[in-house]
Amino acid sequence: MSRTDSQNWQVPALFVVLLFPQLFHTSNGDVGTAAQYSPPYLPTECYGSDSSQFPSSNLFAAAGDGIWDNGASCGRQYLVRCISAAITGTCIPDTTIQIRIVNYAASVASQPSAGGTTMVLSQTAFAAIANSTASSINIEFQQ
């Protein structure tokens, strides 16, 4: 890339950065629900007893029936944010996390905090977007 080309890219790139928060809020992400689950996180329906596929951030989740996709969801990454909950103030505002699907909600070793949710977040993931004392939250999520 020539010097001129790289300079020409700077203006559009700046606009993308500036507009990103706005784009996200008007995005066509799906609305669903999330519960949380606690260790043990192994074994998983996706990777057996192999923990090497867990992100080091500990931001991972088990897929509920709606997104499990018969196991095709293993390894998929989603942007997730809390949009509301039964108790006002539960959501941590303006916080979006990226999680990776590592398990099937119906197969997790420990009991999720609520049943039938779109996804079940690790304790770390849940606490990053909501008050960790909540059992279930409404989320916006996008692959």
Ligand X SMILES: *[C@@H]1O[C@H](CO)[C@@H](O)[C@H](O)[C@H]1NC(C)=O
* 87 lies in the site for ligand X, by CB under 6 A: yes
Q: Which residue has the tokens 């689950």?
A: 37
What residues form DSSP beta bridges with 4? none
Q: CB nearer to ligand X: give 40 or 89.
A: 89
Q: Which of residues 103-142 bind ligand X (CB under 6 A)?
A: 131, 133
- Minimum CB–partner distance for residue 130 and ligand X (Å): 9
Q: Which is nearer to ligand X, 73 or 136 (CB)?
A: 136
Nearest approach, Cβ of residue 126 and ligand X (Å):
12
Does 53 contact ligand X by CB under 6 A? no
Extract the runs of DSSP E, i.e. beta strands, from the chain: 30-37, 60-63, 77-84, 96-104, 119-122, 137-142
Integer angstrom CA distances of residue 43 from 14, 88, 120: 44, 35, 15
Nearer to ligand X, 58 or 131 (CB): 131
In whole angstroms, what is the distance from residue 50 CA to residue 41 CA? 10
Q: Which two tokens stand for residue 55?
A: 């992100």
Residues 98, 143: contact at Cβ < 8 Å?
Answer: no
Closest distance to ligand X from the beta carbon of 46 (Å): 31
Of the pair 52, 133, the CB lying nearest ligand X is at 133
Q: Which residues bind ligand X (CB under 6 A)?
A: 87, 89, 131, 133
